[in-house]
C-alpha cells in the first residue's frame, strides 16, 4: 500500500527512544525525510539516519526555538508528530497528588499539554502551507477512570480535547489533526531501570520484573503483553497519510482492549 509519504518532511518529538524511535523508523521506511527531536541523541536514533535536533520541550521557549531551528534550513513541513510526553515524574507523583502543592501538576501539565500546544502553534504556518497533518500521541489513561498518576491522565485527557478542537479549527485550511492513544507500550518508560514502572515498583515495594509482567493484564490489555512501538507507529503513518483525507479529529485506541467502553 502506497501511503504517499515518500519525500514528505516529518517532525517527530520525543524521538530518541520508545514510541518516538519506532515512529521515526516507520516514516523513514515510507521514504519520508525525518527530523527527530529529543534532549539527547541516542545510538539507535543515529543509526536511523534521521536528522537530530536537540531541544528541551518542557521549557516555555523550547518549542518555538526547536521549530525555528527545524525550519531554518528548509521551511517545508508536511507532518508533525507530537510524541514527547510522560516525562521524568517527580517522586511526589507516585503518592496522592492532591496531598501537596501545585508543583507536580504544573510540571506534568506543562510537558504533556502545553508543550504540544506550543510546538503545534509554532509549526502551524509551515503545516498550513503544505496542507499537512498533525498526529498527537495520547494515552488510554485519558479514558480510564482511576488511571494514575492523575495529573498525567488529566493532561492527556485535555490533550485529546485540544486535538479535537484544533481539528475543527484547522480543517478549512487543509491541516488534519488526529490522535493515537496507546495503553502499555514496550519502552524505556516500562523497561528502563529508572523509568516510570521501575520507580512505581520501588514505591510499592515490589520487584520491577514482577510488576512489569503483571502490568498489561492489570491494565486490562487483552493480549496480556505490552504493545510494540511499531504497532503504534503504523497507526500514526495511516493518520498522517494524505490517502486518508477523511480522517479528521479521530482518536484511535491501539490499546489491546484496555478501555472497557464501546
Q: Which residues bind ligand NAP (CB under 6 A)?
A: 14-20, 38-40, 55-58, 83-87, 137, 139, 182, 184-185, 187-190
Whole-number minimum distance, CB 74 to ligand NAP, in Å?
21
Q: Grid coordinates representing 136?
A: 498527537
Whole-number minimum distance, CB 2 to ligand NAP, in Å?
27
CB-wise, 38 or 259, nearer to ligand NAP? 38
CB-wise, 132 or 216, nearer to ligand NAP? 216
CB-wise, 40 or 121, nearer to ligand NAP? 40
Residue in 129, 144, 12 with CA at minimum distance from that of residue 66 = 12
CB-wise, 164 or 225, nearer to ligand NAP? 225
Look at the chain and count its residues. 262
Whole-number minimum distance, CB 61 to ligand NAP, in Å?
12
| Per-residue H/E/C for the chain | CCCCCCCCEEEEECCCCHHHHHHHHHHHHCCCEEEEEECCCCHHHHHHCCEEEECCCCCCCHHHHHHHHHHHCCCCCCEEEECCCCCCCCHHHHCCCCCCCCHHHHHHHHHHHHHHHHHHHHHHHHHHHHCCEEEEECCHHHHCCCCCCHHHHHHHHHHHHHHHHHHHHHHHHCCEEEEEEECCECCHHHHCCCCHHHHHHHHHCCCHHHHHHHHHHHCCCCCCCCECHHHHHHHHHHHHCCCCCCCCCCEEEECCCCCCCC
Whole-number minimum distance, CB 106 to ligand NAP, in Å?
14
Whole-number minimum distance, CB 96 to ligand NAP, in Å?
21
Q: Which residues are catalytic?
A: 152
Residue in 50, 29, 127 with CA at minimum distance from that of residue 82 = 127
CB-wise, 187 or 250, nearer to ligand NAP? 187
Amino acid at each position: 500500500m502506497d501511503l504517499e509519504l515518500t519525500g514528505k518532511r516529518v517532525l517527530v518529538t520525543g524521538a530518541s527512544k520508545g514510541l518516538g524511535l519506532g515512529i521515526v523508523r516507520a516514516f523513514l521506511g515510507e521514504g519520508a525525510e525525518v527530523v527527530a527531536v529529543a534532549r539527547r541523541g541516542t545510538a539507535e536514533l543515529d543509526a536511523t539516519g534521521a536528522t537530530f535536533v536537540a531541544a528541551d520541550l518542557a521549557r516555555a521557549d523550547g518549542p518555538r526555538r526547536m521549530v525555528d531551528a527545524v525550519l531554518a534550513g528548509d521551511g517545508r513541513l508536511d507532518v508533525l508528530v507530537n510524541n514527547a510526553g510522560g516525562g521524568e515524574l517527580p517522586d511526589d507523583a507516585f503518592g496522592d497528588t492532591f496531598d501537596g502543592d501545585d508543583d507536580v501538576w504544573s510540571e506534568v501539565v506543562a510537558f504533556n499539554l502545553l508543550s504540544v500546544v506550543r510546538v503545534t502553534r509554532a509549526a502551524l504556518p509551515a503545516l498550513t502551507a503544505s496542507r499537512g497533518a498533525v498526529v498527537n500521541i495520547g494515552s488510554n489513561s485519558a479514558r480510564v477512570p482511576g488511571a494514575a498518576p492523575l495529573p498525567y491522565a488529566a493532561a492527556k485527557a485535555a490533550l485529546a480535547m485540544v486535538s479535537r478542537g484544533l481539528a475543527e479549527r484547522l480543517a478549512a485550511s487543509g491541516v488534519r489533526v488526529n490522535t493515537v492513544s496507546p495503553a502499555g507500550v514496550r519502552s524505556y518508560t516500562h523497561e528502563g531501570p529508572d523509568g516510570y514502572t521501575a520507580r512505581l515498583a520501588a514505591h510499592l515495594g515490589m520487584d520491577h520484573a514482577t510488576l512489569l509482567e503483571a502490568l498489561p493484564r492489570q491494565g486490562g490489555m487483552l493480549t496480556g503483553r505490552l504493545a510494540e512501538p511499531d504497532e503504534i507507529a503504523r497507526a500514526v503513518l495511516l493518520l498522517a497519510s494524505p490517502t486518508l483525507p477523511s480522517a479528521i479529529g479521530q482518536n484511535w485506541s491501539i490499546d489491546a482492549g484496555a478501555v472497557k467502553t464501546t
